[in-house]
Amino acid sequence: MATNNKELVVEKIDNGTVIDHIPAEMVFKIVKILGLDAYEDEILIGTNLCSKKYGKKGILKIKNKYFTQDEIDKIAIVAPTATIIIIKDYEVLEKKHLELPQHIHKIVKCINPNCITNVEEIDTNFDVVNRDPIRIQCHYCEKTMEEIQFKD
Amino acid sequence: MTNLKGKNLISITDYSKEDYLTVLDLAEKFENNPNQPILTDKVVGSLFFEPSTRTRLSFETAANRLGARVIGFSNPSATSLQKGESLHDTIKMVSSYTDIIVMRHHKDGASRYASEVSPVPLINAGDGANQHPTQCMLDLYSIRKTQGRLDNLKIAMVGDLKYGRTVHSLVQAMSNFNAEFHFVSPASLAMPDHVKDYARNAGLQYFEYDKLEDVVPFADIIYMTRIQKERFPDQLEYEKVKNAYIMTAATLKGCKENMKVLHPLPRVNEIAMDVDTTPYAYYFQQAQNGMYVRQALIASILGYADKVK
């Protein structure tokens, strides 16, 4: 990492994924839900960086890591403004602007302890009934909730 | 008249306004002519994973009056569930024997899940604290029968509006009929926001009160509910509110002539016995209407609506 007078210059990664435009307060949450705290290759974590669009933003650069759709969906739920940049040989292979999905399949746990999905082996399903603040409704027990708990 | 053949009934919102009216019209025919053995070649699975006297007997009588045979259980302790069988496997097995399943379960969402596992249609007879759509259908039937219409009525709901699933479903169903809602409850048992949002999104007005007397002069229907001890995580909270609303014959002084008192039953002490003999009490007939509505549902979901006389 090097700095000049105006900005922080972060080393480029040759292969891997950059998650940019993360709301600053969500950076460590994303690290946790993606299990990156146990990742053994290089990770650059930046937070509270100046952003013209968002005021303060966070960024993650994860070397040699490409995320599954389930993992990308998790990022979209906690940071729908984020951008995913896929890097191969220092080139941008793909750039995805995330969007909160209408339906959330499998990755979230119902917080209602009496819900059947917490008893039987069932893939959970939620509808997003409000986007800001996010509120989801369980397809099975029909409870609405603002708290999002991801499955392990 | 809509075609309900094969259509599960899990949540009251699974059915449209036209579907409700189809069921109510058919139920009216069964009220006039209850014994119609049109389902003699059908078997109804009656799976009661938690005890329920009224709902189970009502469903099973409905099936019997239609000439269908009923298999099932009312006490899961005598079944393979005690051996640890999953709901998934129980439904797979029972659905291979039966033409339709009626199911009550103590877990929220169990009926939706079972309907996704079952190749035969399923009627939810209550899933935990979530839905009890046939109760809502019989409430609609009772309202239409006593008022002569469903449109433009003033519906008061009293008691436990927080945990009471019947009042939540009734708001959803009556939102199709331009109702005006009047919610009477202690603050700790107020109607949840998501239900009020439902009414608001349907363009309907609702008002909130803490005294039962406030709604008596104008209500067309007063829907009383029991404060359910089993729904309270904190028993001290229950003790504080358990006697909040007790209706007596004197409470109803000055009510509209057409007003009827409904209650999903069982009652504890929220409606005094002296109300039973007033012309406003309708809760026992309401329970009886449940059988006609369930006959209508079973017959129409099995595709026999056109055989009903």
Band the pLDDT of B233: cuts 50, 70, 90: confident
Residue A50 lies in a domain: yes
Distances in whole angstroms, Cα of residue A83 to Cα of each of A9, A71, A86, A100: 19, 13, 10, 12
Mean pLDDT of B25-47: 98
Residue B80 has pLDDT above 80, yes or no: no
Residue A139 lies inside a defined structural domain of this protein: yes
Looking at chain B, which residue has its C-alpha nearest residue A141? B109
User: What CATH number is given to the structural domain containing B86?
Assistant: 3.40.50.1370
pLDDT of residue A7: 60
Q: pLDDT value at position A9?
A: 63
Q: Looking at the complex, does the CB of residue A112 fall below 8 Å from at least one CB of chain B?
A: yes
Q: Give yes or no: residues A35 and A72 share one domain.
A: yes
Instruction: Quote the pTM value.
Output: 0.89
Judge whether residue B79 has pLDDT over 80. no
> Within a domain: residue B232?
yes
Name the least confident of A3-7, A58-62, A124-128, B187-191: A3-7
How many angstroms away from the CA of B304 is the closest CA of chain A? 29
A117 and A58 together in one domain:
no
Q: What is the pLDDT of residue A8?
A: 59
Q: Determine the average pLDDT of the residues in B230-238.
A: 81
Domain of A131, CATH number, reads 2.30.30.20
Kindly state whether residues B51 and B22 are assigned to the same domain.
yes
Check residue B243 and give its pLDDT: 85
Find tokens 């399903």 and name the residue. A125
Q: Flag whether pLDDT at B247 surpasses 60.
A: yes
Cβ-nearest to A140 among B106, B112, B129: B112
pLDDT band, residue A4 (cuts 50/70/90): low
Flag whether residue B128 sits within 8 Å of chain A, measured between CB atoms.
yes
Q: Is the pLDDT reported for residue A1 higher than 60?
A: no
B241 with B146, same domain: the answer is yes
Q: Cβ A141–B11 below 8 Å, yes or no? A: no
CB-based burial of residue A36 (10 Å sphere; 0-12 exposed, 13-18 middle, 19+ buried)? Answer: middle
Inside any domain, residue B90? yes
Q: Which residue of A has its CA nearest to B10?
A: A140
Those residues with Cβ within 8 angstroms of residue B266's Cβ, 6 or more apart along the chain or in another chain:
B54, B226
Residue B228 has a pLDDT of: 81
Pull the structure tokens for residue B23.
């069921």
Catalytic residues of B: 54-55, 83, 104, 132
DSSP-derived letter for residue A122 is -
Q: Indicate whether B2 belongs to any domain.
A: no
Please answer whether residues B111 and B117 qualify as being in contact, where contact means their C-beta atoms are separated by less than 8 angstroms: no
Taking the Cβ of residue B95 and every Cβ of chain A, the question of whether any pair is shorter than 8 Å is answered with no
Mark yes or no for CB contact B108/A115 under 8 Å. Answer: yes
Asked if residue A111 and residue A77 are part of one domain, the reply reads no
Same domain, A41 and A93: yes
- Closest Cα partner for B85 from B9, B94, B116, B102? B94
Indicate whether A90 and A29 sit together in one domain.
Answer: yes
In chain B, the percentage of residues whose pLDDT exceeds 90 is 84
Question: Do A25 and A73 have their domain in common?
Answer: yes
Q: What is the pLDDT of residue A102?
A: 92
Query: What pLDDT does A5 receive?
Result: 59
Tell me which of A61-70, B21-30, B51-60, B232-241 is least confident.
B232-241
The secondary structure of residue B109, as a DSSP letter, is: T
Mean pLDDT of chain A: 90
pLDDT of residue A6: 60
Instruction: Give the per-residue pLDDT at A3.
Output: 52
B127 and B18 co-located in one domain: yes
Count how many domains chain B has. 2
Kindly tell me if the per-residue pLDDT of A16 is higher than 70.
yes
The pLDDT value recorded for residue A151 is: 83
Contact, A86 vs A74, CB < 8 A? no
pLDDT band at A52 (very low <50, low <70, confident <90, very high): confident
Q: Are residues B77 and B114 in the same domain?
A: yes
Short-list B15, B10, B267, CA closest to B2? B15
- Residue B128 sits in the same domain as residue B157: no
Closest to B63 (Cα-Cα) out of B114, B95, B25, B101: B101
Question: What is the ipTM, given to two decimal places?
Answer: 0.90
Summarize pLDDT for B103-129 with one digit per residue, the tens: 999 999 999 999 999 999 999 999 998
Contact criterion met (CB < 8 Å) for B128 and A114: yes
The domain that contains A72 carries what CATH number?
3.30.70.140
- Is residue B103 in a domain? yes
The domain containing residue A132 runs over which residues? Answer: 103-150
Looking at per-residue pLDDT, the higher value among B48 and B231 belongs to: B48
Query: Same domain for A87 and A24?
Result: yes
| Mean of pLDDT over chain B | 95
Residue A1 inside a domain? The answer is no
A74 is a domain residue: yes
Most confident of A45-54, A67-76, B136-145: B136-145
Q: What is the pLDDT of residue B49?
A: 94
Strand pairing class (A149-150; A108-109):
antiparallel
Per-residue confidence band for B196, with pLDDT thresholds at 50, 70 and 90 = very high
Domain encompassing residue B72? 12-132+290-307
Higher pLDDT, B80 or B4: B4
Distance CA(B19)–CA(A111), nearest Å, equals 33
Q: Could you give the number of structural domains in chain A?
A: 2
B84 to chain A nearest CA, in Å? 11
| Phi then psi dihedrals of residue B280, to 5 deg | -90, -20
Q: Are residues A84 and A20 in the same domain?
A: yes
For the beta carbon of residue B100, count every other beta carbon within 10 angstroms: 24
Whether the CB of B4 is below 8 Å from some CB of chain A: the reply is no
Q: Is the pLDDT of residue B2 over 90?
A: yes
B5 in a domain, yes or no? Answer: no
B242 C-beta neighbours (distance < 10 Å), count: 17
Q: Do A70 and A107 share a structural domain?
A: no
Res B198 pLDDT > 60: yes
Q: Determine the residue of chain B that is closest to A140 in CA distance.
A: B109
Q: Are residues B83 and B127 in the same domain?
A: yes
Based on the fold, state whether residues A62 and A76 are members of the same structural domain.
Answer: yes
